[in-house]
Structure 1
């Protein structure tokens, strides 16, 4: 089982780890590494994978083996490089990319908070927290003539929540009785099952813009963007 250090600290950008399994793909000239613990978040839950290096070797991709509860790190191979179980390696996540992903992801959760505070009868379905085309999708519908007004209201409530959240009211997470990790953006958040990375405080999101509401079959999609995204 790979210990996910980012569960407790999304701003842990460097760490050491031990290799538990190492396989070399001769065709691709890359290593697939399993580590005892990692700071790298693999894509999932609508959030993209982290970028960075393992002992100065570029991480090409990340994959989760849910059956074994491990994360595979596919690493570009420099000439003469090799890895073996028991090796100590050093991990470094690209901080700019991580912070970007965390802001977008937390902003998506903020959409949920705003929708709930407005009393909208939307049931969360899926989300897409990539820099291009971020959205949160819900089971539900909104009349065409009301979509622009509701989009503006969601944006207003979301940004008001950012401004009114106390500086001491930090983003928190805990593990529920069934082992699921729950994330709370603030004390007024009822919590959401989540395996991704987040800001430490909602004010780091700065400002969100709800660009539009779109009907997708039986779903309503809330499209959003985040200001000053590097």
Structure 2
């Protein structure tokens, strides 16, 4: 009889031990934190790529805007020089025109000027000398004006090109960041689905653990009652 009770006690202890191990395993599985989702890792990588892209484009755009600002300053200075050069050439052109086409005089005044002028003086020769000097200066100033205008045109073209490059970089940045943002939204959707599935799985495991604990208690009670009545 003692041997039978000892065997019964050992059997009950073994059953309780096995059921306890199963329960502990299920509870440990339920309470353990899930491994890091690949979606989280990919999302962090997307953020890193977005930050890197933004830094790259920001540096390029900043450099271009600084160069465009310098070109704008140079363009304004060249524009002022061009305006002054045009004014000088216009003044010389007016002086040349005045010598070539002198204003007319009334007949009486012209006779007085001719009679009052010494014979040695020759107004025509003086006008020719002045005209020669003015034409030389006019040609030189016109060449300078053309050179300034050419520099002004080049600076203007460079400024337009620089502004276009800034626009292109901004569009590329927006397009690339938009692509990464769409990928991030897609990964977020996948992550939400995975989290929902994980919560359901954990809920099922916890429910199974509770039922196993209840079943263990019932089986243990029945086994104890059965062995006690033998």
* TMscore range, shorter length: under 0.3
* Higher helix residue share: 2
TM-score relative to the length of structure 1: 0.18
RCO (CA 8 Å, sep 6+): is it higher in 1 or 2? 2
TM-score relative to the length of structure 2: 0.18
Asked which structure has the greater CA Rg, the reply is 2
* Higher strand residue share: 1
